[in-house]
């Protein structure tokens, strides 16, 4: 795509200085100077552009003319509509935020000590290769909190407010508290587990659970389960891992290689369902509620024991931020806003904010201080000065940044190729990446790739021309 | 290499040469085969062969894909040949470029005398063009050295053009024996249903059954291809690979539906569906066989035999097989006595006829220039000796029946090699045979992992069929 965008960018050297413009007589010397450059430009710019446009009307291998078929496919295939949608999301979100943050940093660095150090840090990412940045952010966004810094942060905060239980269920894998109940236990409202049998003081209960990880038991220093002994005036019982490696198919019985479940919080429920006592199981899985009044009770294993911890946000996944789960595939391609797009936009902001900041800081530095002083003298607050004086004066620079960034993200490519996992590639696809995928890897389809390139070119051209016009204005006026 | 070994190997090669001389005299191919069969046992040396060494001298150029440590191992495997014949082998490792490099060299008219290609398709194409020499007259039948499946893969129109040397096995499910023991699973499953039953057992024991490597597409493709091979058989597999069976075929649907039993059960998968889509290769292997300091998080990983280097790379403690050193029990903790083992990818009940069908990869040697040196090398390659040497060095399995199982360093590699040599049919990865639409096929497979429903299978199959048709139309096949 860079090649296609070049004719515009190359116009500047063609502009003849005003003095020379008077005598436009072509003499041999001037032709001799122009020809090598013209030939070169023709070879690397004009020819590829023309060839690309020509190819876009041809089939996969460029051997036969297919008319507008490629363009028709372009707007009907879900995969390419996804690419269009993603480009749209990028263009709507990215230029605004990069300009915004660039401005914030530019204004802030005007007022702080160590401004140069600060600016250096902000601009540093632009020195790194985009691929390297994308890979770094790919691991920052990793699903596993032990790898991804962002999920580690969320995990810390989440565990603070919502500590996981001693036996967290694996909600990510669809494990439920109900699936843990094995013998003598049933599910009660609120994801609590409750003894099936009614127990009276002096009686015992045995509550068997399955799906308990041996690793968890090791951490909790569990000991082999032992049968509970009845005590007068007390409800005693056992909670144990009802899974014996030596008798894997046999439940209910308490085998020697079955461990008790330590640290489980239990409640004694009266017949009206209210909790009258609580207990915690020991290393052998034994527990006791003492001094229990006569009556019929149930023992409950509280759901808090199984509360699952934070399992990680799949930042680089294609789950949509808009509710599009129930709509058709094409509608999904058009309307979904995948989370991975947002994550990549954050990465790209990190890369480009420094650039925006530097350009805007230069703009700020060249502002007429007298105007700002005058505003302040007239009693304008800082905010008013910024809003009514600085912003309008900076408007041309802001526009240039904004428009440059629109062009920049229309072509966005390397972040998408490198940051999301393969499973998110299709949902994170953009036009520029599709050109690469169709044109250079896998199912090579020169015609389709060229058609996408042409469309992308058409999208970039108006923005580019407008930008050029804006850039020329100051010198003209 | 010590003196005694050198002496032995010299003798062996001399037999080979003598055998060739005998063949020339008797013009009987069977005699050669008989002699070749006896090559690996030094005791069967006929007295006549103990004549003065006859050195051929000169040199032979060899290309293969092996570089770095593999290159060193391959060169070591050829040392005895060089010593006994006086022929210098000029080996050049081409890495993953092997096929393209060879094609270019062949069309440029300067191919190496001997080449090892990782793709029997290349051999078939070159044989069709008459660029590869028929090996029949040179080494006779290899019926005693390789199973029929292997010789058929290296033959075109009944003529032998290639000698298999190194092979990889994708028909493997790697499991952590300690975790199987924790779940009371005493023997490895022999059917697909048995494997899923064991998975349920592991779940009840609190162990996550599978770590799926599905962050990218190729491992899903390998997995699906295993299922297809086991349910539809090698014949259909090859028909599907060449487009003679459409992707909308009932055999394809059946394979998808069988696989849904695994992929569509999130509680069997580490991290559920979402976690699987973020499970990177080779981290997915580390979840089952972790480095010291972390505990395993899943019991099985379905991957090819090349993962052993990842496992042993994680810790030198890992023992091949179901017992530690000196018969010690395996432990889940990798700091103690961790173990690794595999069981053959199981066929579903009622499909045991396809149990011996293997998916994998391999390098086949072929002769492009019929020099004396090249002929001598091809004969040497078909013997047990080079394979035996590389097997000792590790990271190598041979499809050659003559390579004694005792040459392999451990029981696991031995079982792996035995599977290869006794395969009733051997197929290469179907995705690699798909040419240009391979990346699209991988995305389709990932799409299946994302939404493993019957409805999605129907839509994926349609997509795959249209992609395959388009790719085939383009390549003109």
- Is residue B464 pLDDT above 60, yes or no? yes
Residue A349 contacts B where some CB pair is shorter than 8 Å: no
- Is residue B217 pLDDT above 60, yes or no? yes
Encode burial over A413-441: b for 16+ CB neighbours within 10 A, e otherwise.
Answer: bbbbbbbbbbbbbbbbbbbbbbbbbbbee
Q: Choose, out of B178, B183, B206, B294, the residue to mutate when testing the contact with A (most A CBs < 10 Å).
A: B206
User: How far apart are the CA of B133 and the nearest CA of chain A, in angstroms?
Assistant: 32
CATH dotted code for A171-306:
2.60.40
What is the pLDDT, as a whole number, of residue B7? 38
- Is residue A44 pLDDT above 80, yes or no? yes
What is the pLDDT, as a whole number, of residue B43? 39
Which of A80-89, A92-101, A290-299, B9-18 is predicted least confidently? B9-18
For the entire predicted model, the pTM comes to: 0.82
Q: Choose, out of B176, B186, B205, the residue to mutate when testing the contact with A (most A CBs < 10 Å).
A: B205
Q: What is the mean pLDDT of residues A129-147?
A: 93
pLDDT band for A215, please (50, 70, 90 cuts): confident
Q: What is the mean pLDDT of residues B429-455?
A: 88
| Closest-CA residue to B208 (of B195, B219, B199) | B199
Question: Which residues between 301 and 360 in chain B have a beta carbon less than 8 angstroms from any beta carbon of chain A?
Answer: 332
If you search the block for the tokens 């893969």, which residue do you land on?
Answer: B153
Which DSSP category does A471 fall into?
H
- pLDDT digit string (tens) for B376-429? 999 999 999 999 999 998 889 999 999 999 999 999 999 999 999 999 999 998
pLDDT band for A221, please (50, 70, 90 cuts): very high
Q: What is the mean pLDDT of residues B308-323?
A: 92
The answer to whether the CB atoms of A143 and B214 lie below 8 A apart is no
Residue B459 contacts A where some CB pair is shorter than 8 Å: yes
* Interface A-B: count of C-beta contacts within 8 A: 127
Q: What is the mean pLDDT of residues B246-260?
A: 97
User: How far apart are the CA of B456 and the nearest CA of chain A, in angstroms?
Assistant: 11
What is the C-alpha separation between A333 and B139, in angstroms, rounded? 59
| Closest-CA residue to B78 (of B97, B96, B64, B98) | B64
Residue B205 contacts A where some CB pair is shorter than 8 Å: yes
Q: CB of A6 within 8 A of CB of A45?
A: yes
What is the pLDDT, as a whole number, of residue A2? 40
pLDDT band for B469, please (50, 70, 90 cuts): confident
Residue A61 contacts B where some CB pair is shorter than 8 Å: yes
Domain A49-146+328-472 has CATH 3.40.50.11270: no
A299 pairs with which residues across the strands?
A: A268
CATH dotted code for B3-169+361-428:
3.40.190.10
What is the C-alpha separation between A41 and B283, in angstroms, rounded? 48
- pLDDT digit string (tens) for B320-361? 999 998 889 999 999 999 999 999 999 999 999 999 999 998
Handedness of CA B178, B179, B184, B187 (dihedral sign): negative
Residue A424 contacts B where some CB pair is shorter than 8 Å: yes
pLDDT band for A312, please (50, 70, 90 cuts): confident
What is the pLDDT, as a whole number, of residue A19? 54
B404 pairs with which residues across the strands?
A: none
Residue A311 contacts B where some CB pair is shorter than 8 Å: yes
Residue A241 contacts B where some CB pair is shorter than 8 Å: yes
What is the pLDDT, as a whole number, of residue A17? 53
CA dihedral of residues B344, B349, B355, B361 (deg, nearest 10): -60
Q: Which residues of B touch A63 (CB under 8 A)?
A: none
If you search the block for the tokens 């001298």, which residue do you land on?
Answer: B57
Residue A144 contacts B where some CB pair is shorter than 8 Å: yes
As a three-state string, the secondary structure of chain B is: CCHHHHHHHHHHHHHHHHHHHHHHHHCCHHHHHHHHHHCCCHHHCCHHHCCCCCCCCCEEEEEECCCHHHHHHHHHHHHHHHHHHCCEEEEEECHHHHHHHHHHHHHCCCCCCEEEECCHHHHHHHHHCCCCCCCHHHHCCCCCCCCHHHHHHCEECCEECEEEEEEEECCEEEECHHHHHHCCCCCCCCEHHHHHHHHHHHHHCCCCCECCCCCCHHHHHHHHHHHHHHHHHHHHHHHHHCCCCCCCCHHHHHHHHHHHHHHCCHHHECCHHHHHHCCCCCHHHHHHCCCCCCCCCCCEECCCHHHHHHHHHHCCCCEECCCCHHHCCCCCCCCCCCEEEEEECCECCCCHHHCCEEEEEEEEEEECCCCHHHHHHHHHHHCCHHHHHHHHHCCCCCCCCCCCHHHCCCHHHHHHHHHHHCCCEEEECCHHHCHHHHHHHHHHHHHHHHCCCHHHHHHHHHHHHHHHHHHHHHHCC
pLDDT band for B219, please (50, 70, 90 cuts): very high
Would you kindly state where each structural domain of chain A is located, as residue ranges? 49-146+328-472, 171-306
Which DSSP category does A144 fall into?
S
What is the pLDDT, as a whole number, of residue B3? 36
The answer to whether the CB atoms of A445 and B447 lie below 8 A apart is no
pLDDT band for B302, please (50, 70, 90 cuts): very high
Q: Which residues of B touch A443 (CB under 8 A)?
A: 436-440, 467, 470-471, 474
The answer to whether the CB atoms of A214 and B201 lie below 8 A apart is no
Which of A368-382, B171-185, B323-337 is predicted least confidently? A368-382
Question: In the numeric block, which tokens belong to residue B265?
Answer: 């059960």
What is the pLDDT, as a whole number, of residue A474? 57
Which of A162-171, B44-53, B456-465 is predicted least confidently? B44-53
User: CB-CB: which of B204, B207, B272 is closest to A172?
Assistant: B272
Which of A281-295, B98-112, B160-174, B230-244 is predicted least confidently? B98-112
pLDDT band for B476, please (50, 70, 90 cuts): low
Q: In whole numbers, what is the pLDDT of chain B averaged over residues?
A: 86
User: CB-CB: which of B185, B205, B217 is closest to A214?
Assistant: B205
Which DSSP category does A43 fall into?
I
User: CB-CB: which of A174, A329, A426 is closest to B266?
Assistant: A174
ipTM over 0.85: no
The answer to whether the CB atoms of A173 and B295 lie below 8 A apart is no
B6 pairs with which residues across the strands?
A: none
Q: CB of B384 within 8 A of CB of B147?
A: no
Q: Which helix (H) or strand (E) holds A401?
A: helix A391-410
- Is residue B15 pLDDT above 70, yes or no? no
CA distances from A240 to A6, A189, A237, A247, A258 (A): 72, 22, 10, 15, 7
Q: CB of A188 within 8 A of CB of A300?
A: yes
Question: In the numeric block, which tokens belong to residue B434?
Answer: 């798909």
Q: Which of A395-409, B15-29, B256-270 ranks highest by mean pLDDT?
A: B256-270
Which DSSP category does A213 fall into?
-
Q: What is the mean pLDDT of residues A449-472?
A: 88
Handedness of CA B23, B26, B27, B29 (dihedral sign): negative
What is the C-alpha separation between A357 and A380, in angstroms, rounded? 25
Question: In the numeric block, which tokens belong to residue A252?
Answer: 């209910």
User: How far apart are the CA of B420 and the nearest CA of chain A, in angstroms?
Assistant: 30
The answer to whether the CB atoms of B184 and A245 lie below 8 A apart is yes
Q: What is the mean pLDDT of residues A210-231?
A: 91
Q: Choose, out of A253, A314, A442, the residue to mutate when testing the contact with B (most B CBs < 10 Å).
A: A442
Encode burial over B199-232: b for 16+ CB neighbours within 10 A, e otherwise.
Answer: bebbbbbbbbbbbbbbbbbbbbbbbbbbbbbbbb
User: CB-CB: which of A61, A142, A211 is closest to B206?
Assistant: A211
| Closest-CA residue to B13 (of B48, B47, B39) | B39
- Is residue B30 pLDDT above 50, yes or no? no
What is the pLDDT, as a whole number, of residue B8? 36
Topology, domain B172-354: D-Maltodextrin-Binding Protein; domain 2 (3.40.190)
Percent of chain A with pLDDT over 70: 93
A429 three-class SS: coil
What is the C-alpha separation between A372 and A394, in angstroms, rounded? 12
- pLDDT digit string (tens) for A384-426? 888 888 888 898 899 889 999 999 999 999 999 999 998 999 8
Would you kindly state where each structural domain of chain B is located, as residue ranges? 3-169+361-428, 172-354
What is the pLDDT, as a whole number, of residue A22? 52
Exposed, middle or buried, A266 (CB in 10 Å: 0-12/13-18/19+)? Answer: buried
What is the pLDDT, as a whole number, of residue A21? 52
The answer to whether the CB atoms of A247 and B275 lie below 8 A apart is no
- Is residue A435 pLDDT above 50, yes or no? yes
Residue A474 contacts B where some CB pair is shorter than 8 Å: no
- Is residue B10 pLDDT above 70, yes or no? no
A426 three-class SS: helix
Percent of chain A with pLDDT over 90: 58
Residue A18 contacts B where some CB pair is shorter than 8 Å: no
CA dihedral of residues A95, A97, A99, A102 (deg, nearest 10): -140
- Is residue A11 pLDDT above 80, yes or no? no
| B195 vs B13, higher pLDDT | B195
What is the pLDDT, as a whole number, of residue B23? 37
- Is residue A202 pLDDT above 60, yes or no? yes
Question: In the numeric block, which tokens belong to residue A465?
Answer: 């021309």
Q: Which helix (H) or strand (E) holds A299?
A: strand A298-301
Residue A387 contacts B where some CB pair is shorter than 8 Å: no
User: How far apart are the CA of A449 and the nearest CA of chain B, in angstroms?
Assistant: 14
Q: How many CB atoms lie within 10 A of CB A150?
A: 18
The answer to whether the CB atoms of A214 and B332 lie below 8 A apart is yes
Q: In whole numbers, what is the pLDDT of chain A averaged over residues?
A: 88
Q: Give the phi and the psi of residue B63 in degrees, each rounded to 5.
A: -115, 145
What is the pLDDT, as a whole number, of residue A116? 87
What is the pLDDT, as a whole number, of residue B386? 96
- Is residue A1 pLDDT above 70, yes or no? no
């Amino acid at each position: 795509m860079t090649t296609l965008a070049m004719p515009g960018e190359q116009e500047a050297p063609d502009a003849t200085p005003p003095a020379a413009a008077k005598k436009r007589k072509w003499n041999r010397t001037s032709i001799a100077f122009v020809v090598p450059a013209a030939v070169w430009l023709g070879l690397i710019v004009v020819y590829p552009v023309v060839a690309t446009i020509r190819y876009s009307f041809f089939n996969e291998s460029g051997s036969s003319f297919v008319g507008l078929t490629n363009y028709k496919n372009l707007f009907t295939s879900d995969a390419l509509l996804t690419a269009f949608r993603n480009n749209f999301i990028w263009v709507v979100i990215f230029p605004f935020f990069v300009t915004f943050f660039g401005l914030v940093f530019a204004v802030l660095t005007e007022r702080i000590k160590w401004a140069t150090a600060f600016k250096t840090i902000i601009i540093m990412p632009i020195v790194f290769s985009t691929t390297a940045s994308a890979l770094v952010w790919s691991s920052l966004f990793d699903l596993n909190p032990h790898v991804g810094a962002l999920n580690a942060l969320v995990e810390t905060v989440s565990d603070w407010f919502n500590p996981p239980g001693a036996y967290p269920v694996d909600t990510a894998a669809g494990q439920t508290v109900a699936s843990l109940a094995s013998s003598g236990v049933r599910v009660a409202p609120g994801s609590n587990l409750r003894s099936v049998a009614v127990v009276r003081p002096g009686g015992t209960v045995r509550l068997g659970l399955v799906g308990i990880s041996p690793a968890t038991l090791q951490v909790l220093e569990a000991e082999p389960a032992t049968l509970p002994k009845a005590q007068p005036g007390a409800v005693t019982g056992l909670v144990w891992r009802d899974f014996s490696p030596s008798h894997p198919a046999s439940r209910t019985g308490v085998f020697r290689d079955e461990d008790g479940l330590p640290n489980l919080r239990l409640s004694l429920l009266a017949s009206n369902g209210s909790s009258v006592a609580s207990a915690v199981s020991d290393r052998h899985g034994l527990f006791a509620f003492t001094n229990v009044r006569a009556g019929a009770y149930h023992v409950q294993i509280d759901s808090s024991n199984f509360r699952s911890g934070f399992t990680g946000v799949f930042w680089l996944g294609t789950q949509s931020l808009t509710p599009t789960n129930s709509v058709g595939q094409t509608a999904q391609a058009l309307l979904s806003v995948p989370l991975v797009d947002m994550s990549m936009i954050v990465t790209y902001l990190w890369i480009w904010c420094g650039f925006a900041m530097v350009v805007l800081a230069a703009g700020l530095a060249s502002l007429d201080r007298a105007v700002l002083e005058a505003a302040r003298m007239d009693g304008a607050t800082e905010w008013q000065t910024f809003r009514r004086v600085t912003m309008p004066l900076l408007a041309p620079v802001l526009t240039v940044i904004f428009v440059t960034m629109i062009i920049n993200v229309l072509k966005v490519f390397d972040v998408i190729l490198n940051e999301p996992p393969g499973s998110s590639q299709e949902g994170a696809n953009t036009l520029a990446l599709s050109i690469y995928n169709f044109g250079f890897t896998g199912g090579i389809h020169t015609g389709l790739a060229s058609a996408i390139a042409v469309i992308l070119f058409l999208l970039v051209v108006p923005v580019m021309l407008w930008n050029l016009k804006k850039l020329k204005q100051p010198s003209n006026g | 290499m010590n003196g005694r070994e050198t002496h032995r190997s010299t003798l062996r090669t001399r037999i080979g040469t003598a055998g060739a001389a005998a063949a020339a005299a008797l013009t009987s191919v069977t005699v050669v085969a008989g002699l070749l069969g006896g090559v690996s046992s030094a005791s069967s040396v006929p007295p006549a062969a103990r004549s003065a060494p006859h050195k051929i001298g000169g040199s032979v150029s060899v290309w293969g894909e092996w570089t770095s440590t593999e290159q060193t191992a391959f060169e070591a495997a050829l040392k005895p040949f060089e010593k006994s014949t006086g022929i210098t082998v000029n080996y050049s490792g081409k890495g993953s470029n092997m096929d393209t490099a060879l094609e270019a060299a062949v069309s440029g008219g300067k191919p190496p005398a001997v080449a090892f290609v990782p793709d029997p398709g290349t051999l078939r194409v070159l044989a069709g063009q008459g660029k590869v020499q028929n090996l029949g007259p040179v080494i006779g039948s290899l019926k005693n050295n390789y199973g029929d499946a292997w010789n058929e893969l290296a033959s075109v129109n009944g003529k032998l053009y290639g000698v298999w040397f190194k092979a990889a096995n994708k028909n493997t499910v790697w499991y952590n024996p300690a975790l199987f023991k924790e779940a009371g699973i005493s023997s490895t499953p022999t059917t697909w249903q048995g494997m899923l039953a064991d998975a349920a057992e592991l779940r009840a024991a609190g162990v996550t059954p599978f770590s799926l490597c599905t962050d990218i597409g190729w491992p899903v493709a390998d997995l699906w291809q295993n299922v297809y091979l086991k349910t539809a058989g090698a014949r259909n597999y090859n028909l599907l690979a060449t487009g003679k069976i459409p992707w909308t075929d009932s055999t394809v649907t059946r394979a998808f539906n069988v696989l849904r039993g695994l992929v569509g059960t999130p509680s069997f998968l580490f991290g559920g569906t979402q976690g699987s889509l973020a499970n990177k290769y080779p981290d997915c292997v580390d979840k089952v066989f972790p480095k010291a300091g972390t505990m395993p998080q899943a019991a099985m990983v379905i991957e090819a035999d090349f993962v052993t280097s990842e496992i042993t790379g994680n810790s030198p403690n890992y023992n091949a097989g179901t017992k530690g050193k000196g018969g010690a029990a395996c432990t889940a903790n990798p700091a103690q006595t961790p173990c690794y083992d595999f069981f053959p990818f199981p066929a579903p009940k009622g499909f045991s006829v396809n149990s011996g069908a293997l998916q994998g990869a391999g390098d086949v040697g072929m002769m492009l220039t019929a020099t004396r040196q090249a002929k001598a090398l091809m004969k040497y390659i078909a013997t047990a000796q080079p394979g035996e040497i590389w097997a000792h060095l590790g990271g190598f399995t041979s499809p050659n029946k003559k390579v004694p199982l005792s040459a392999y360093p451990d029981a696991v590699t031995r079982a792996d090699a035995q599977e290869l040599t006794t395969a009733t049919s051997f197929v290469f990865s179907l995705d690699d045979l798909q040419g240009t639409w391979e990346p699209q096929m991988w995305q389709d497979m990932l799409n299946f992992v994302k939404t493993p429903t019957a409805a999605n299978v129907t839509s994926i199959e349609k997509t795959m069929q249209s992609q395959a048709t388009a790719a085939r139309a383009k390549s003109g096949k």
